[in-house]
Structures are given as C-alpha cells and as structure tokens.
C-alpha cells in the first residue's frame, strides 16, 4: 500500500510539473518602435502655411505697404474648371488678395507660387514658398539667370549681342497666365530696343532649377539659346547662325522726327501725310488700277492714342471696344507686346491687318491694306520687322 501511495504522489508531482511547463507564458510588454527623423511622415500640401510664410516675408520686407498682420482671411478654391495638375486658392481680406497655386506633386517637393496684391494701393508681390516654408521672391533667380546669360552672350558675340545697361521691360508670359497657367512652369519676357529675352523654368526647389533662356532680335535675326543652373553656370545649347544677307537691299529708310522710330520700305513706295507727326502713309505704285503695297503708321494726339504710361496694350484695346473680325496670332513690333487685329473687308472695302502697340504714353497703329486683294506676307513681315525705336 505504501508503494502505491508513493507512486501516486510521484505521478501527481510530475503531472503538475508537466502542466506548468505547457501553460501560457507570463505576458511581456511589447516595445513600440519610435520614428527617427528620416522616417517622419510626409505632410500633405498646406497652402495656408505657404500663404502665412509669404505674408511674414512681405511684412518684414515692405513694412506698412504690406498687409497688416492678423487679418481674417476668407478662403476660396479658384482652380479653373478642367485644369488638371494644379491647385489654386485665393484668400481675401479688406482690399488684399493672396493667391496660392501649387502643382500636384509629392508634398515634400511642392513649391507654392504666391501672389500678394492690392489693387487699391497698386502693391504687387510674387514669390515662391517651398515645402519647408522658405520664401524666395519670384524674380530674384530669374533676373540673376537672365543677367548671367546676357553677360555670356556679350562676352562671346560682341557687337552682335545686346549692349550692356539696357533698360528691360518685364512681362509674365507663362502660358495661360493668369487664369489657367500651365502647371509647373513659369516664363518671363524682357524687351529692350528690339531685343527679346525669355526666361522659363520648371517650378522646383530653388537649388534644382535650370533656367531655359532665349536671346533674340527680329531685325538682325540674332538668336541664342542656353541654360543657366541655380549656381549661375551658363551652357550654350544653340549658337546664333551667321548674320543673314541684307534683306533690305533697294529699300529706303524713314525716321520719324517726333517719335524717333525708324522703318524701311520699298524704294517705289511714296511717303505722304498731311501731318507726319500724326500719321504717315506709304503708298505703292499703281498696278491693275490699284495702289500696292499700302501701309500706314498712326500716332494721333487724342485720348485713345494717349493711354497712361505702363498700360497693357491688350487691356487698352479691349477696354476701348475696338471692333475687328478676328484676333491675329501673338506678335511683337519693335520688341513691344502687340495686338494684331484682322479685318476681312467687303464690297468697296479692302481687307486689312492692324497692329497696336504702346511705347510710353503713346499708342501706335500700323495698318496694312490688302489693296486689290493682293497679299505678300514676306514683304509685310519685312516691313514690320524693320520698325525699331532708338
């Protein structure tokens, strides 16, 4: 009996040990990994942050001219309908309007285009804010790239290049600007004395930008293309071709005594006008009972022909309700922005093309009459391209 009791105790002891060995382990706390700086989550686009960074920059730079701090801004999504790849918000407070546009890219690569404007005071500022909140005035890099390219062209092409120290007129020519700009691209144009410089670049962090630059002159046919990186290094991509032979052999030159402009016209054209300070006519010989070619340059002394200095010619013509049959392709005359209007003509009326452009506070109009239904655009283009200011 004793041996059976001992055996039972031994079995119970072993069973208890076996049960305890197969049971669940004591729960231990699980270590939760912490994110390192390189693992930080990428933030979503934040136009309000970009707006506030730009406003702080503008306030610091321009003081009382800038919007007062602490204004209550009203937000509105203003992305044009159907535009893909770009988002635009508009913020308004009192007379101030702040526009923030940004491409749909990875958030940490987003560069916001910001415009701060007040029509009542005429204040206008444009800049960029990167994903880290760093602010760059929009034109700082553009102007530096333009000047680096011009320095290169002057050093390498001498008398063919623009002279140094020109006074450049600036225009934002971003395709679709300002209503529906092409997502991720900005382009500016600078004009002076027949020269045109365009500077375009992708919307990227400043240190990644490579500026695409063209330097051209319609009259001399000079055209140079190149790139300027963020460090100011210039790379020539297209060298100018050799100067073309003189296309104006046999043509004569006319210079306006009052306005100083110069143009060339065929030798057999007669110049006439009751008051050359207001209008000059260039009338060709008679052929088939019609005078051809027939040009005129008008610069009358009237309210319509005296817009305020700095007026945009497209807006001036639109506001003046000038009638036309068709808007012509975008062109320039004498390196100036030009409105091209086309008139179809009819019984007893010649078809014609009008070209409007503004210099200072004077509006100019060049008219080409297609007398007898004849058109020669090689000749017309030579005439238009010969028009220059000193």
Q: What is the DSSP string of 245-287?
A: P-TTTTEEEEE-TTT--EEEEETTPEEE-S-TTTEEEEE--EE
Kindly give the parts of the chain with pLDDT less than 50.
1-42, 244
pTM summary value: 0.44
Read off the DSSP letter of residue 290.
Answer: E
Q: Which two tokens stand for residue 316?
A: 């001036």
Read off the tokens for 355. 């070209």
Render the burial of 322-352: b for 16+ CB within 10 Å, e for the rest: eeeeeeeeeebbbbbbbbbbebeeeeeebbb
Using alpha carbons, list the distances in angstroms from residue 83 to 87, 104, 183: 8, 11, 9
Give dist(CA 62, CA 123) in Å, integer. 10
In sequence order, what are the beta bridge partners of 368? 295, 353
Which of 364, 260, 355, 261 shows the shortest CA–CA distance to 306? Answer: 364
So what's the pLDDT on residue 126? 82
Q: What is the per-residue burial (b if ≥16 Cβ within 10 Å, else e) of 251-279?
A: beebebeebebbbbbbeebeeeeeebeeb
Half-sphere exposure of 105 (CA within 13 A, CB side): 16
Contact 132, 140 (CB under 8 A): no
Of 1, 17, 389, give the one whose Cα is nearest residue 195: 389
Nearest in space to 122 (alpha carbons), one of 359, 305, 337, 310: 310
Please state, rounded to an integer, the average pLDDT across all residues of the chain.
84
Q: In whole angstroms, what is the distance from residue 370 CA to residue 144 CA? A: 45
Q: Is there a contact between 128 and 112 (Cβ–Cβ < 8 Å)?
A: yes
**What separation in angstroms does the CA of 266 have from each of 19, 224, 243, 269?**
115, 30, 22, 6
Q: What does the pLDDT look like over 249-293, one tens digit per residue?
A: 889 999 999 999 999 999 889 999 999 999 999 999 887 788 889
**Res 250: pLDDT:** 84
Tokens 């701090």, located at residue: 69
CATH homologous superfamily, domain 251-385: Mog1/PsbP, alpha/beta/alpha sandwich (3.40.1000.10)
Least Cα distance to 199 among 181, 212, 216, 184 occurs for 212
330-375 confidence digits (pLDDT tens): 899 999 999 999 999 888 888 999 999 999 999 999 999 998 888 9
């Amino acid at each position: 009996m004793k041996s059976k009791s001992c055996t039972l105790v031994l079995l119970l002891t072993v069973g208890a040990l076996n049960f305890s060995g197969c049971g669940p382990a004591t729960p231990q706390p699980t270590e939760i990994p912490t994110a390192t700086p390189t693992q930080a989550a990428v933030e979503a686009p934040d136009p309000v942050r970009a707006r506030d960074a730009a406003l702080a920059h503008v306030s610091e730079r321009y003081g009382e001219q800038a919007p007062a701090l602490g204004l209550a801004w009203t937000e509105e999504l203003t992305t044009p309908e159907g535009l893909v790849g770009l988002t635009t918000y508009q913020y308004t407070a009192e007379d101030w309007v702040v526009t923030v546009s940004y491409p749909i890219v990875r958030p940490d690569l987003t560069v916001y285009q910001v415009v701060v404007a007040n029509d009542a005071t005429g204040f206008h500022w444009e800049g960029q804010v990167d994903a880290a909140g760093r602010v760059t005035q929009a034109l700082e890099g553009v102007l530096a790239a333009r000047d680096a390219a011009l320095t290169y062209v002057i050093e390498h092409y001498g008398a063919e290049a623009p002279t140094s120290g020109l006074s450049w007129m600036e225009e934002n020519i971003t395709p679709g600007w300002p209503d529906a700009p092409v997502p991720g691209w900005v382009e500016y144009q600078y004009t002076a004395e027949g020269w045109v410089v365009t500077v375009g670049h992708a919307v990227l962090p400043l240190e990644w930008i490579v500026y695409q630059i063209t330097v051209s002159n319609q009259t001399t046919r000079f055209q140079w293309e190149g790139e300027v990186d963020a460090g100011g290094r210039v790379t020539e991509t297209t060298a100018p071709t050799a100067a073309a032979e003189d296309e104006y052999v046999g043509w004569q030159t006319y210079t306006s005594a009052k306005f100083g402009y110069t143009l060339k016209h065929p030798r057999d054209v007669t110049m006439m006008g009751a008051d050359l300070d207001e209008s000059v006519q260039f009338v060709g010989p008679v052929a088939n009972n019609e005078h051809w070619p027939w040009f005129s340059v008008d610069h009358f002394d009237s309210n319509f022909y005296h817009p305020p200095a700095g007026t945009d010619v497209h807006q001036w013509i639109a506001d003046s309700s000038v009638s036309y049959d068709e808007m012509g392709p975008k062109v320039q005359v004498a390196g100036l922005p030009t409105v091209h209007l086309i008139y179809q003509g009819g019984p007893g009326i010649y078809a014609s093309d009008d070209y409007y452009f503004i210099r200072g506070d004077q509006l100019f109009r060049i008219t080409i009459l297609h007398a007898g239904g004849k058109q020669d655009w090689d000749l017309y283009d030579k005439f238009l391209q010969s028009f220059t200011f000193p």
